[in-house]
A and B are shown apart, each in its own frame.
Chain A
Amino acid sequence: MTREHFELRLYVAGQTPKAIRAFANLKRICDEHLAGQYSIEVIDLLDDPRLGRGDQILAVPTLVRRLPEPIKKIIGDLSNTERVLVGLDLRAK
């Protein structure tokens, strides 16, 4: 496995059950598969709605993989680990 750094952003709108679930799922997946090579930034659109524009956020929660490129987006509460791994390019489709 490569030692690339994963820069991840999780967009939410308020501390909703879906948002909390998504963060927990993401943390668990990263610890299992990307230990020591990731960072997660949580952005709450309720704090500043303009922050969602750049990444074209409509659905929440949305996980955006900023690095490594290309940019990837995964929407939903990240409850399906396999799909998340595929979405992050950590597993072939």
Chain B
Amino acid sequence: MPTSVPVPLSIPKSPTGVSGLDEITAGGLPTGRPTLIAGGPGSGKTLLGISFLVNGIRHYGEPGVLMTFEENAAELAADVASLGYDLQTLVDAGQLVIDYVHVERSEIEETGEYDLEGLFVRLDHAIRSVGAKRLVLDTLESLFSGLANETILRAELRRLFRWLRDREITVVITGERGERTLTRHGLEEYVTDAVIQLDHRVHEQISTRRLRIVKYRGSAHGTNEYPFLIDAGGIGVLPVTSLGLQHQVSSERVSTGIPDLDAMLGGDGHFRSSTVLVTGSVGTGKTTVAAHFVEAACKRGERCLHFLFEESPLQLIRNMQSVGIDLAPWVERGQLVLHADRPSRHGLETHLVLMHRAVEALNPSIVIVDPMTNLLSVATAGDVRTMLTRLIDFLKGRGITALFTSLSAPNTSPESAEAMISSLMDAWLVMSADLDGRRRRRWLYLLKARGMAHSDEVREFHFTRHGVQLRPANLPDRP
């Protein structure tokens, strides 16, 4: 029989304002308690700490103190400016105190007993001067290189953490990763509430940052390693959402932009917020179909986000103009964002974070990934499937239509090539081409279209000056 232990619903938490991190931690860091952020050099510990402070001031009305033991003022300002933070403004507004602590062991002789009351007094003064609710100590471990008497230092650190708890201030302590331990000097011994580990790996010249919640006393938390990103948009962590099947299902139909295709789908086009896969070998017109979806949405006044993993934006615009689809005006109006990137520039996780970011920034009604198969060059099929699952889940959760193009090798059965992702797709358009005497003919059919009374015809696919037409195949001519 399980004994019932009364468990409080949740301990109070202070949101970090870092997108994703608050979801993984179910609300943020433990309020009034210290959290250790451990990681190697360049893993982003300082920037994560500063984001916690800056967001606290900007979004949650909590003034903060940054006590830094390492960097000098100029270096620190340059570092955080790259994130788009202007610390001086916050300092001038009386919401932030930055205190640079410098310990130089070579200047110091030690004789007899001492304590770190000087540090306590200084910290106390800084906290009081702005009424701080948040504090970052970066990196406290520098004291170990500055002071020789480790016995005194450890006793004082223990006293410091008690002192901080008594003040009910929410603290982030950063710590340098150790060889066998979480931090070089074992700071995890003093911080028992929450520990976050950061990691920066470079694999085949592709760098990936990851974050993991090692420990969070009194709270449920995600246990995976989560990819995160540091760029001009700040720090973002990508939570791996569970693939729930709880999405709102739309029964609204919207045009694909190709009247003949709408007709094949039962007359009204595809379901809004469905997931469409377009597969075919080289030169069968996948991108053109995607461009029709985009144009139709823009004409409805919606926003579109088009990820290009092969062509440049200008190439796409030029090529589509040749078949009567002019995307340029929509780009100018800001309704269409063309997001070109080389698959090899980042790892899959980073691509996913960047895609999330772009979606969050634009809030589009349709997202195109063209071609998703190029992502296979940076990861295994299994990883790509996982990533697409997460992406589709994210898009469905927001009611966004997704269209993926997939390049299949000629003469392979489409069912085998994309079997790995077919179950994620609501509609599947298969395109092919063959040679008929002196002419290359293109074909299109619907392999599936969930919830729609769709045509099972194979149509002949024609490019015209006014876009794509799908004509009933002249059956006797078919090979």
Contacts and interface: CB of A to CB of B under 8 A. Distances in A.
B205 interface: no
A49 B112 contact: no
By CB atoms of chain B within 10 A, which of A49, A72, A79, A83 has the most?
A49
State which size class the interface on B falls in.
20 to 34
Contacts, number: 96
A84 interface: yes
B117 A75 contact: no
A21 B112 CA distance: 10
A60 B102 CA distance: 15
Given A49-B124, A50-B125, A56-B102, A13 B111 contact: no
A8 interface: no
B109 A86 contact: yes
A30 interface: no
B122 A53 contact: yes
Contacts of A62: 114, 118
State which size class the interface on A falls in.
35 or more
Interface in B57-108: 99, 101-103, 107-108
Interface SS, B side: mixed
B118 A74 contact: no
Contacts of A71: 107
Contacts of B117: 13-14, 16, 45, 59-60
Nearest to B117: A13
Interface string B226-239: 00000000000000
A25 B113 CA distance: 13
Interface in A62-77: 62, 71-77
17 contacts: A11-B118, A13-B117, A13-B118, A21-B112, A45-B121, A49-B121, A49-B124, A56-B103, A57-B118, A58-B146, A59-B117, A59-B118, A59-B119, A76-B110, A76-B112, A79-B112, A84-B109
Given A11-B118, A45-B122, A52-B118, 7 more contacts: A18-B114, A59-B117, A62-B118, A74-B110, A76-B110, A84-B109, A87-B111
